[in-house]
Amino acid sequence: MIETRVLSEDDWRSWRDLRLAALAEAAYAFGSRLADWQGDGDREERWRGRLAIAGSHNILAMLDGQPVGMASGVPTGHDGVVELISMYVAPAGRGRGVGDHLVRTIEQWARQVGSATVRLAVVRGNENAWALYRRNGFRDTGELGDLMPDGVRREHFMTKSLVG
């Protein structure tokens, strides 16, 4: 059974451990680089600050007591729109419904805070993520986002309406 743990700033160590694992194992999927969060970037106040984004909802998915997935919902500055960010499922959680669980949990939170739309960014080539998001009702908007750290690929935005 997948359990969800809602995180506060005080859970920064748990968030940090899985986030660093994500950036090491799946660097191709993130706009952040592992090197940016190590060394001088690996500071308690920075991790706490990440979990303290105003209006955010940060979660870990647990299997057998071990963290195997993470995601955050954050406000966007556009009325009724939140963004799903920092989504990751560790190899131990893949193929076990963890990704679907994380997406549904962020959608539930989005509805609770009155959002009508969830938005996310995903890169081409991350076919498992594209399949997960499509399976959960997200559609490509055709809008391109930021350049990835490789300086070549760009994020693509997907949205899902929570109305109706």
Whether 148 has a pLDDT exceeding 90, the answer reads no
Whether 124 has a pLDDT exceeding 90, the answer reads no
Instruction: List the domains of the chain with CATH numbers.
Output: 2-161 (3.40.630.30)
What does the mean pLDDT of the chain come to? Answer: 95
The pairs formed by 145-149 with CB atoms below 8 angstroms and a separation of 24 or more are 145/121, 146/31, 146/121, 148/31, 148/123, 149/27, 149/31, 149/32, 149/33
Single pTM value for the model: 0.94
Average pLDDT of 92-119? 97
pLDDT tens track for 14-42: 999 999 999 999 988 888 888 888 888 89
Average pLDDT of 154-159? 95
Side chain identity at 102, as an amino acid letter? L
